[in-house]
C-alpha cells in the first residue's frame, strides 16, 4: 500500500534527511573574543609616597589624583629601592638575583645589561600581535647594540640610555676618578641614532609630545603597547620657572624645585590620557602608573609617613605609588590592599593581551589582574627584595648627590 500525502516518513529515512540537511544548517557562532586592550605603562622616576595628593601632599597632582580615584589605587604595592633593579624586574618578571643585577645599578661605563637570553615584556607582546613603543629612560644597559631597546622588543625608541642627565641639554657628566676629570656627552637617541636636535627642550615635554604623536598615528588594526618612562622627578632638580611659582611659600629650594617637577609631570600624564580619549583608544586601554622606587629625600622627595628613602630597604625606599586606570576594570574608585610587586606586571599584562609566557625563564611575578580588577585575593603572599652579600651602602645621608652622578 503506497504512502499517502501528509504521512510521516518511515523511521529509517529520518537519519538520512538529517544528514542531508546538515551542510545547509547555519553553524552556531562562537562567542567572539574581545579585542586585545591597548596597554600604556607610565613609570615615574623617584616619586615619593608622600608626593601625591591622595597621600596628603601639598604638591598639586590633580590629574594623577583623578585617574587613581576613578580606577584602582594600589596601596600595598612594592618596587625595588633603585632604578635598574626595578626596571629589570618590570620588563623581565624576574627577581634581580636571577638576572645578575642585584648589585646596585648599571653605571655609565659598566659593561652590563639585562642578560640577552631573558625574554622581555615587549618581545612577548609583539608575539601577541602588539605594536610596541618606548619613550624615555632605559637604564638597562647599552654597552652592546644587542642591549638596546630596539633589540629587546620595541619597534621604536626615543629617550636616553643611562640613569640620569640634564633635562635641557640631555648631557650626562661623569667623573673619571682615575684621571680626575669630568667628561660630558650627549645621551639622547631616536631609535639607535644619536638625536642632536633637541637641545634646550625640557625632557618631560619632549617625551609627552612623542608619546602623543605615537598615539595619534597608531593604526588600530593592532593593539598598542606604550612604555613611557619619564625622567621626572629624578635629580638634577630642573623645571621651568612657571611651575615653581605656585610653591613660592616652600622655603626649601630643593623641595620647591621638586614640587614644580611633580606638577609638570602630573600635567603630562593628563595630556597623555586626553590624547588617548581624543584619538579613540581610551575605552579599550589599560593604563598602569608606577614609580620605580621611593622618593629621594636628599633631593626634595618625601615618603612620609614611611621610613627611609631611595637606596634603602625601609618602606620609604620600596613601597611605591601606583594605580591602574581603565574603563575595562570591573571595580573602580577603590583602594586595593592586595600585595603586588613590580615584577607582577609582565605576567599580568601578557595575559591581558592574550599572549603567553611559555618562552620565558621561570617567572617570579604573578598575574594579579583579578586582584586589581575584581578585588580578589592576590596570588602573591611574599616577595623578595634582594640577596646581595656584596652590597655596601656607600651613599650616607651627608654624601653629595652630585658626586654620586645623580643616580
Tens of pLDDT along 244-289? 999 999 999 999 999 999 999 999 999 999 999 999 999 999 999 9
Q: What is the pLDDT of residue 401?
A: 41
Catalytic residue status for 103: no
Catalytic residue status for 184: no
Residue ranges for the chain with pLDDT beneath 70: 1-31, 391-407
Q: What is the pLDDT of residue 175?
A: 86
Provide φ and ψ at 134, rounded to 5°.
Answer: -125, 135
Q: What is the pLDDT of residue 9?
A: 53
Q: What is the pLDDT of residue 7?
A: 55
Locate 3 and state its grid cell.
504512502
Find the catalytic residue in 38, 55, 133, 139: 139
Find the catalytic residue in 38, 55, 83, 341: 83
Q: What is the pLDDT of residue 174?
A: 87
Distance in angstroms (rounded) separating the CA atoms of residues 44 and 159: 14
Question: Is the link from the previous residue into 305 a cis peptide, with omega within 30 of 0?
Answer: yes
Q: What is the pLDDT of residue 103?
A: 87
Angle at alpha carbon of residue 394, lines to 388 and 396, rounded to 5°: 120
Q: What is the pLDDT of residue 205?
A: 98
Residues belonging to the chain: 407
Other C-beta atoms closer than 10 Å to the C-beta of 327 total 13
Q: What is the pLDDT of residue 1?
A: 46
Q: What is the pLDDT of residue 394?
A: 59
For the stretch 115-164, pLDDT in tens is: 999 999 999 999 999 999 999 999 999 999 999 999 999 999 999 999 99
Other C-beta atoms closer than 10 Å to the C-beta of 137 total 26
Amino acid at each position: 500500500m503506497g504512502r499517502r500525502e501528509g504521512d510521516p516518513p518511515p523511521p529509517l529515512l529520518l537519519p538520512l534527511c538529517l544528514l542531508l540537511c546538515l551542510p545547509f544548517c547555519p553553524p552556531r557562532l562562537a562567542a567572539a573574543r574581545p579585542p586585545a586592550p591597548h596597554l600604556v605603562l607610565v613609570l615615574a622616576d623617584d616619586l615619593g609616597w608622600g608626593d601625591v595628593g591622595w597621600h596628603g601632599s601639598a604638591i598639586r597632582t590633580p590629574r594623577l589624583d583623578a585617574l587613581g580615584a576613578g580606577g584602582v589605587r594600589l596601596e600595598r604595592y612594592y618596587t625595588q629601592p633603585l632604578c635598574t633593579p626595578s626596571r629589570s624586574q618590570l620588563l623581565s618578571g624576574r627577581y634581580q638575583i636571577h638576572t645578575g643585577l642585584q648589585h646596585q645599578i648599571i653605571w655609565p661605563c659598566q659593561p652590563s645589561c639585562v642578560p640577552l637570553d631573558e625574554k622581555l615584556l615587549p618581545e612577548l607582546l609583539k608575539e601577541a600581535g602588539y605594536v610596541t613603543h618606548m619613550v624615555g629612560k632605559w637604564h638597562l644597559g647599552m654597552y652592546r647594540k644587542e642591549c638596546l631597546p630596539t633589540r629587546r622588543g620595541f619597534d621604536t625608541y626615543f629617550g636616553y640610555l643611562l640613569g640620569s642627565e640634564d633635562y635641557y641639554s640631555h648631557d650626562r657628566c661623569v667623573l673619571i676618578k682615575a684621571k680626575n676629570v669630568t667628561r660630558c656627552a650627549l645621551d639622547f637617541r631616536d631609535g639607535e641614532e644619536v638625536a642632536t636636535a633637541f637641545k634646550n627642550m625640557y625632557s618631560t615635554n619632549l617625551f609627552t609630545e612623542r608619546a602623543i604623536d605615537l598615539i595619534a598615528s597608531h593604526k588600530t588594526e593592532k593593539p598598542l603597547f606604550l612604555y613611557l618612562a619619564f625622567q621626572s622627578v629624578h635629580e638634577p632638580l630642573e623645571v621651568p620657572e612657571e611651575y615653581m611659582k605656585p610653591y613660592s611659600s616652600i622655603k626649601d629650594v630643593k623641595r620647591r624645585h621638586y614640587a614644580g617637577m611633580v606638577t609638570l609631570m602630573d600635567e603630562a600624564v593628563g595630556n597623555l590620557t586626553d590624547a588617548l580619549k581624543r584619538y579613540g583608544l581610551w575605552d579599550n586601554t589599560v593604563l598602569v602608573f608606577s614609580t620605580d622606587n621611593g622618593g629621594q629625600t636628599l633631593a626634595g622627595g618625601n615618603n612620609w609617613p614611611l621610613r627611609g628613602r631611595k637606596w634603602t630597604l625601609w618602606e620609604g625606599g620600596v613601597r611605591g605609588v601606583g594605580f591602574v586606570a581603565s574603563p575595562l576594570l570591573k571595580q573602580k574608585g577603590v583602594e586595593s590592599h592586595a600585595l603586588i610587586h613590580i615584577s607582577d606586571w609582565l605576567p599580568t599584562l601578557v595575559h591581558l593581551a592574550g599572549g603567553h609566557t611559555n618562552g620565558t625563564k621561570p617567572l617570579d611575578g604573578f598575574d594579579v589582574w583579578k586582584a586589581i580588577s575584581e578585588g580578589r585575593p592576590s596570588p602573591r603572599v611574599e616577595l623578595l627584595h634582594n640577596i646581595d652579600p656584596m652590597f655596601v651602602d656607600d651613599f650616607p645621608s651627608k654624601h653629595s648627590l652630585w658626586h654620586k652622578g645623580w643616580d
